[in-house]
Amino acid sequence: MTPLILVSTEIRAADGLIWHAALDTYLNAVTLTGAAPVLLPSLGDKLDLAAILSRADGVLLTGSRSNVHPSHYGAEPSERHEPYDHDRDGTTLKLIPLAIDMGVPLFAVCRGFQELNVALGGTLITEAQERPGSLDHRAPIGLPQDERFKLAHDVNFEEDSQLAKLLGARCIKVNSVHRQVLDRLSTRLVVEARAPDGTIEAVRVADAHAFAYGVQWHPEYWAATDPASGALFRAFAAAARERAARALPLAAE
């Protein structure tokens, strides 16, 4: 059984053309689990998201250089919040609650992690490194990608963390390639892990009927070599495979 995983896309403009794109690191991480990635274009209301989700076995919300537009969480936009991707916002912020309510397994990474909080009523902080006592969660620009995405700091799991049980660890080392962080947490989310400075690094959806987790770091980058990163994607794919198996009798009718 090969589960189909919807992968969110971002809008890129080049040579007068518009591209709906996802980095191959996410696609490769999905295929490592035996699942099949399917790009979901950022077409917003042009898509029947409920119909698409009824045929999908999982949703992967990817990272991006763009940020969720502040209007979606009650803040005033400024240059400090840029860049934006309105088309992606118009797609993923509607997709997320639908996927959760329909019981479609969901895994949110980086921007996707922030989208998850905003879609469910939470807010964000920009320029997190300016907070008193904060780590600098950004990665240097201009270095080779393996250096930018290196495992940089610890995250500590909460006492009741489901991810800690899944990974068999109370603390793991993760990479850090972001400058926005969660501020007010959605009432539908539960904190799973924090960085040493208290930054929320992982959450789960409390009322979800299937796998529904988000992480601020980038497990896709080291999914083939880092045990914790690979385990996260395998657990997501296992949930998607279970959904696919349940759908088989319906498809045969």
**Annotated catalytic sites, by residue?**
110, 218, 220
In whole angstroms, give the CA distance from residue 62 to residue 177.
13
Structure tokens at 103: 């019981």
Distant-in-sequence, close-in-space partners of 181: CB < 8 Å, separation ≥ 6? 124, 125, 128, 137, 199, 200, 216
In whole angstroms, give the CA distance from residue 147 to residue 246.
42
Q: How far is CA 185 from each of CA 105, 113, 154, 160, 253, rounded to the nearest angstrom?
A: 21, 11, 21, 17, 43
Structure tokens at 104: 């479609």
Long-range contacts of 241-247 (CB under 8 A, 24+ apart): 241/1, 241/3, 241/34, 241/35, 241/57, 243/3, 243/57, 243/58, 243/103, 243/104, 243/105, 243/210, 244/1, 244/2, 244/3, 244/4, 244/57, 245/1, 247/57
Residue 129: name the closest of 186, 177, 185 by CA: 177
CA 195 to chain centre: 17
The residue type at 16: G
CB burial readout 54-66, b (16+ within 10 A) else e: eebbbbbbbbbeb
